[in-house]
Structure 1
Amino acid sequence: MKTIGILGGIASGKSAATKILQELGAEVFDADLAGHRVLEIPEVKEEIRARFSSAVFDDQGNVSRPKLAALVFGDSPEQRQALADLEKISHPRIGAELQKSRNQAEDRGVIAFVVDAPVMIKAGWIEHCDHVLFIDASRETRLKRALARNWTENEFDIRESAQEELDVKRHHADFVIANDGDLSQLRDEVSAYWRQQIATSLS
C-alpha cells in the first residue's frame, strides 16, 4: 500500500485532488475532520478549558471552533503561542487516529492511503508518506477561490500564515500537480500520476 501525502496552499485544490484519488481507489484520512472528532473527546475538552477558559465553549458544552480560531489564528505572539498550545493537545491524538486508520486500511488490502493534512510537515505525519503531492496554484487563483467561499482576503492571509510556507511544502514534494485550470484539467493531472505511480505498482 502506498501512502500519499497531499500538500498545497489555502484553496489550492487539495480537497478536489483528494476526492479524485478516492474515486480512483484510494482511502482518505482527512486530518481536519479528525481534528473535529478530537475536540469532542472529554479529556480534550478539559485540556482546552484549562488552557483557553470556558469562553471557547458554546451553550451545549462543545468547543466552538470559530471562537477557538479567533484565539489561535493571527500574527500576534499570543496567538502564535495559543496555536502551539492547541497543537500540543490535538496533534498527538490526530496522529494516533491517522496511524490506526492507515494500519486498518493496509489490513484490508487498500492499494493507496491518502493523508490530507495542512500541517502534515509540522506535525511530523509526512514521515508516514511514500509519496508527497504538492497541488500548485497561484495566489491569485487561490484567493479567488477563497473569496468564492465567502472568506475575506484578511482571513485568507491569516490562515495561510498559520501553515508552513509554500516553498517549504514544495520542497518536500515528490510530485507537483498544477491546478490553475478547471476540474477536468486537475483530474487529468491526478489520473496521470495514478496510472504512472500507483496502478503500475499493481502489475
Structure 2
Amino acid sequence: MRTAMKRPWIIGITGGIASGKSAVTNFLENRGALALRADRIGHEILESPIVQTKLVRQFGQSIFSQDSKSIDRKRIAALVFGDTPQAIERRKSLEAITHPPIREKIRQELDKVLIAGTHPWVALDIPLLLESGWDKSCDAIWFVDSPYKDRLKRALARGWTQEHFDAREASQWSMEKKRSKATWVLSNEGNLGDLEPQIARALDAIGPVRLQS
C-alpha cells in the first residue's frame, strides 16, 4: 500500500512593486512552503551563455557590467521599462528571450514537489504572476495591498529612483486589476508583524493539507 503524500496548495503572491510580496513568501517558507522566486531564477538565467548571447544580439554589448562578465540588470531595466512604444517593444523582446527558460525552471520545480509530496504549500513569488498567466496554475491568489507612498519609500531605500519606480509600475497591470483577481487580500501598511495573523487566516481559508494516494 502506498503511503499517502501531501498534495500542496499552490499560492500565487501578487501585488505592487515593493508591496511586501517577499515578506509574505518568506513567512510561508518558514511555515514549510516551497518558495519559488522568479527573480532569483531570473538571476540564474542571466548567467546562461545562451541567454547572454541572445540578449547581446538584441540589445548590444552595453548591457554588460563594467567587468564585462555579467549582465547589468539596471541597464536592461532602463531600456525596457516604461510606457513608450520603444520601451514596450524592447520589453517584449526581453520577455521573449528570458521568460521561456524561467517558466521551464519553475515548471520543473513544481513538478518535482507535486511528485514528491514533501510540502503543504508552494508559494509562487512571480512579479508578473497574473500578466504571464501563472494564476491558472494556482489554487489561491494572494494580493499584498500596500499604499503607493509606502511602496515608493521602500523602493527608494533600495536605491531606485521615483522615475524608475513609476516606469516599472506602468509596465504592469493596475493595482485595481490585480486586486480583482485575488482570492485573498493582505494589508501591509509597514508593520510586518501585522502580516503574520493575516497570513495565518488566509492559510485557514485555503483549507487543510490535501493528501494524494
- Alpha carbons 1:29, 1:98 under 8 Å: kept: yes
Write out per-residue CA displacement over residues 33-56 of structure 1, whole angstroms, 9 at most, x where no aligned residue: 111111111111111111111111
Which is further off, 186-195 or 127-136? 186-195
Q: 52, 58, 64: which one pairs with 2:72?
A: 64
Aligned to 1:95: 103
Measured in 2, the distance between the counterparts of 1:90 and 1:66 equals: 15
Structure that is richer in helix per residue: 1
**Identity over the aligned pairs, expressed in percent?**
37
Residue 168 (structure 1) aligned with residue 143 (structure 2): no
Pairing 1:43-82 to 2, within 5 Å after superposition: 43-58=50-65, 59-82=67-90
Code of the residue aligned with 1:143 in structure 2: it is L
Aligned to 2:13: 6
> 1:25 is paired with a residue of what secondary structure?
coil
Residue 116 (structure 1) aligned with residue 125 (structure 2): yes
> 1:115 is paired with a residue of what secondary structure?
strand
> 2:130 is paired with a residue of what secondary structure?
helix
Residue 42 (structure 1) aligned with residue 49 (structure 2): yes
Q: Which runs of 5+ in 1 are unaligned?
A: none
Measured in 2, the distance between the counterparts of 1:143 and 1:67 equals: 20
How big is the alpha-carbon RMSD for the aligned residues of Structure 1 and Structure 2? 1.6
Measured in 1, the distance between the counterparts of 2:145 and 2:200 equals: 16
Measured in 1, the distance between the counterparts of 2:190 and 2:62 equals: 42
User: How big is the shift at 1:15?
Assistant: 0.6
- Alpha carbons 1:95, 1:125 under 8 Å: kept: no
Which is further off, 127-136 or 102-111? 102-111
Q: 203, 207, 210: which one pairs with 1:194?
A: 203
- Alpha carbons 1:11, 1:143 under 8 Å: kept: yes
Code of the residue aligned with 1:188 in structure 2: it is P
Runs of 4 or more, structure 1, over 6 Å off, are none
Which is further off, 48-57 or 68-77? 68-77
User: How big is the shift at 1:61?
Assistant: 3.4
> 2:178 is paired with a residue of what secondary structure?
helix
User: How big is the shift at 1:162?
Assistant: 1.7
Write out per-residue CA displacement over residues 65-97 of structure 1, whole angstroms, 9 at most, x where no aligned residue: 121111111232111111111001111111111
TM-aligned CA distance change 1:150 to 1:61, over 3 Å: closer
Q: Aligned pairs, how many? A: 202
Write out per-residue CA displacement over residues 93-144 of structure 1, whole angstroms, 9 at most, x where no aligned residue: 1111111011111222211111101111222222111110000111122222
> 2:131 is paired with a residue of what secondary structure?
helix
User: How big is the shift at 1:60?
Assistant: 3.3
Aligned to 2:3: none
Write out per-residue CA displacement over residues 141-165 of structure 1, whole angstroms, 9 at most, x where no aligned residue: 2222223323222222111112221
